[in-house]
Structure 1
């Protein structure tokens, strides 16, 4: 597991998303996660939707179910699912900026401004849960899985899309790619596939499937870097955000080229896990 010298806490994660709210929405959109290119000719918006569809497929959604969106962002994923299924979804985010938008999504979507590790949800009250690139921000990965198992009924599914440490990563890639990505992206740690499997098993989950989709998602960061570069010239708000010393999270800009290189070299992997609560 990759752990930076100064791991982030929940307050710094919330500040990161609140500070960069304008940049996330203008540069990438309401889906705060990677795109998934099946064919390769999809638009970024279509690719982002396809990752949601992949999670949706693995959840095996049935009418009337209660689902939990762990780290729901702006609620765009939940909105997509609610447009296609007669279910209810409860989402949690640390970001006040995301909560303001997510709260207005749908009467069947409850958006909570709350730490997942202290969520207060009733035990066994959900039929399924998903975490799309939010487990990375958890200060305790074992507790992340423990809480997921607590709120799920037996047989409930947990789908996790995660940034993962690659296998046998050389020291220079850890030092110059993975550790800086953790610091700049406010990730308290980055686990490997093996770590996730061990944490989930210990919490009471059975693995149903795992897929490495690093190749299918890596185009995300090249697009983000190109859009950001263009925005520096065309968007005053982005320019002020990037250049202001008051923006404590602006060093995430440096992670854009690091993420491109980390995914292309295999230093970082992107995995989709499907588990069943036992």
Structure 2
């Protein structure tokens, strides 16, 4: 497990997303996660929807199923699944994200720590976490809570930023640890650690797909948009330069290089 130089907290994660809310929305929109380029010809907007749809395919939910979105962001994926008949409860640490999310039928979003979600036992037919497990201070408890709230046999789909199995010291010191520190990640695990934590919580691993090559383009697009905004937009420039969390900008080139060197991977897990 990779840990940042300063211990991460849920309060720091909330502050990161609350403060940088306008930057994230302007750079990438309502889906605060990677895009998935299946054919290579998708627009960024199509690519982020493709990742959500990949999660939906693995959940295999039906109309009327109760789903929980762990780390829901602005609720874009929750609204997409609700439009197909699901009833979705979402959790995020960011009040700014809840405030910015448009209302939708059969979608409820709460600003609350997943590790203190207060949901009933065995009350849901499926759960998913798209790039939120990285922000969990206690990852084994993240899995334990998911297991607790799911009915027996229900699926959990997790899309996760991962470290490679054997990163070099240079990759840890100059890519992975700084990415954790700059991005508000209390830790970053590898694929084997994720499977072990899930199985310790009572899940069986159904599948793990490495889609690193299909998502890496996200960061070259984000970096280009960020540079253009910093050069052309005075408001963006002022917001970034004043931000307590402005170090996030340093992660843009690191993420590009982490994918290109193989130091960082992107995994999609299906557990049951």
Identify the TM-score tier after normalising by the shorter chain.
over 0.9
1:82 is displaced (CA, Å) by 1.6
The match for 2:78 is 78
Aligned partners of 2:185, 2:126: CA distance in 1, in Å? 25
Q: Is the 8 A contact 1:133 1:160 kept in 2?
A: yes
Task: Give the paired residue count.
Answer: 272
TM-superposition CA deviations, 1:24-50 (whole Å, max 9, x none):
000110100000001111100000000
Q: Is 2:33 aligned against 1:16?
A: no
Q: Is 2:85 aligned against 1:93?
A: no
The match for 1:136 is 134
Q: Which runs of 5+ in 2 are unaligned?
A: none
Aligned partners of 1:240, 1:43: CA distance in 2, in Å? 29
2:154 match: secondary structure: strand
Aligned partners of 1:87, 1:218: CA distance in 2, in Å? 30
Aligned partners of 2:29, 2:58: CA distance in 1, in Å? 24
1:67 is displaced (CA, Å) by 0.1
Aligned partners of 2:235, 2:203: CA distance in 1, in Å? 45
The match for 1:262 is 258
1:4 is displaced (CA, Å) by 1.6
2:201 to 191, 200, 203: 203
Q: Is the 8 A contact 2:36 2:48 kept in 1?
A: yes
The match for 2:159 is 161
RMSD, matched Cα: 0.8
The match for 2:244 is 248
TM-score computed with the length of structure 1 as normaliser: 0.96
Q: Is the 8 A contact 1:7 1:187 kept in 2?
A: no
TM-superposition CA deviations, 1:134-177 (whole Å, max 9, x none):
00000011000000000000011000000001021110010000
Q: Which runs of 5+ in 1 are unaligned?
A: none
1:241 is displaced (CA, Å) by 1.4
Q: Is the 8 A contact 2:82 2:105 kept in 1?
A: no
TM-superposition CA deviations, 1:75-128 (whole Å, max 9, x none):
011111122x112000000001001123x3313101011000010000100000
2:8 match: secondary structure: coil
2:198 match: secondary structure: helix
1:92 match: secondary structure: strand
Please give the residue correspondences for 1:1-278 in structure 2 after superposition, counting only pairs within 5 Å: 1-83=1-83, 85-102=84-101, 104-244=102-242, 247-276=243-272
Moved more, 231-240 or 106-115: 231-240
Q: Is the 8 A contact 1:75 1:101 kept in 2?
A: no
Aligned partners of 1:224, 1:251: CA distance in 2, in Å? 15
Aligned partners of 2:59, 2:173: CA distance in 1, in Å? 36
2:115 match: secondary structure: helix
Aligned partners of 2:240, 2:112: CA distance in 1, in Å? 28
